[in-house]
Amino acid sequence: DPTVVLALVTERGGPTSPTAIIARQLAIPCVVGVVGALAVPEGGDLLVDGTTGGVEVAPDPAEAQERVLADRARREQVAAWSGPGATADGVPVKLVANVADPESAATAGAEPVEGVGLFRTELCFLNRADEPGVEEQAAIYAEVLRPFTGQVVVVRTLDAGSDKPVAFATQVGEENPALGVRGLRLSFDNPALLVRQLDAIRLAADRTGAEVQVMAPMVATVAEAAGFAGLVRERGLRAGVMIEVPAAALLAHRMLEVVDFLSIGTNDLTQYTMAADRMATDLAHLTDPWQPAVLQLIAITAHAGRQAGKPVGVCGEAAADPLLACALVGMGITSLSMAPAAVRAVGARLAGVSAETCEEVAEAVLGATDPAAARAAALLVVERRG
Ligand code: PEP
Ligand code: MG
């Protein structure tokens, strides 16, 4: 079928830019930031490896065929994994889905996930000029919640702004939108926007059997977390905040005094820790969650969760990396939320390692001084210990 998209290759963009996230959501192999991609001649063969990021123009046909077959065998192994998420010695790790709208929620509901760890509500409204009323929002959210009766669904309030412009919420003409009024900050000037959304989420929760929890994006201070949690709890729902700003990670233990759970958004946490735009092609080596400084902040946050006895999840793209998932679990992360297409690969990997091995992997990556060394150290532990 000539209309089927087998893979995406782009000249610009980074691994956590929306193109890559949406491709992962659709299970389409995608390699971004490929210098020279636009110069590839039309009509020839191209071998695209979405796992390693390799793109080969005019590959040797026999070799290409062999790699496609090997990939198929690996995929079959992964496809056989059916959950629930746990290490080889039976320590549970909640594997949950990132969803964007009713369609992706329906897809996720058919996968072996234990609910939703991140519902990006703003993605429902990218093409809306005006804010939908409470009733209309409630109807959309209820559609998303419906496949998850009896399961936890974490709804994130509007993360409009910066790279996700929403016409009715985003401020126009900001000098530096990634450091501007985005996420929870939109409610500073316009608290009614947040209140209407929370009312709609409450209504949707009432109409479905999902166990709804609500979290805020782009939280920087404990006061912001406390104010948000108050509004959510007034509506009888559990409240959390995302850890996306280094300030919030460093104060994770104080955040946990005022909220029920934390969820680490590694895409933004990496961007803000490394001071590198997640969309910048030239900075992709910095916007890598394997950067030791990012791993330290994740470890600090996970440790705070263990101390407080409260759940700390990861919902950025880092959660979809099977090897990194082992390190995250070893640090004390209790749930991993990802595009449904990634769940089986992560589940299969975790099923092959013990909790103790995960702790060794965590220790190894935290001792590394660059991403390549961290990856190599993790691989060494996993291959030696299984
Ligand atoms: C993140 O920043 O890691 C995250 C999950 O949020 P988003 O990618 O929607 O900014
Ligand atoms: Mg984010």
Q: Is the C-beta atom of 244 inside 6 A of ligand 1?
A: yes
> What local confidence, expressed as pLDDT, does residue 150 receive?
96
Report strand pairing: 261-264 vs 312-314.
parallel
Ligand that comes closest to the CA of residue 279: 1
In angstroms, rounded to a whole number, what is the distance separating the alpha carbons of residues 216 and 184? 6
Q: Which of 24, 154, 242 to mutate to test the pocket of ligand 1 (most atoms within 8 A of CB)?
A: 242
3-state secondary structure of 37: helix
- The residue among 328, 343, 276, 270 whose CA lies nearest residue 112 is 343
3-state secondary structure of 240: strand
Asked if 363 and 121 count as a contact pair (C-beta separation under 8 A), the reply is no
> What local confidence, expressed as pLDDT, does residue 275 receive?
97
Nearest CA to ligand 1 atom 9: 120
The alpha carbons of the chain give a radius of gyration, in whole angstroms, of 20
Q: Is the C-beta atom of 265 inside 6 A of ligand 1?
A: yes
Distance (Å) from CA 2 to ligand 1 centroid: 33
> What local confidence, expressed as pLDDT, does residue 13 receive?
82
Per-residue pLDDT of the chain (386 residues; tens, 9 = 90+): 567 888 999 998 877 777 887 887 777 889 988 889 999 999 889 999 887 788 999 999 999 999 899 888 878 878 899 999 999 999 999 999 999 999 999 999 999 999 999 999 999 999 999 999 999 999 999 999 999 999 999 999 999 988 888 999 998 899 999 999 999 999 999 999 999 999 999 999 999 999 999 999 999 999 999 999 999 999 999 999 999 999 999 999 999 999 999 999 999 999 999 999 998 888 988 999 999 999 999 999 999 999 999 999 999 999 999 999 999 999 999 999 999 989 999 999 999 999 999 999 999 999 999 999 999 999 999 988 76
Distance (Å) from CA 178 to ligand 2 centroid: 10
> What local confidence, expressed as pLDDT, does residue 114 receive?
97
- The residue among 213, 207, 209 whose CA lies nearest residue 139 is 207
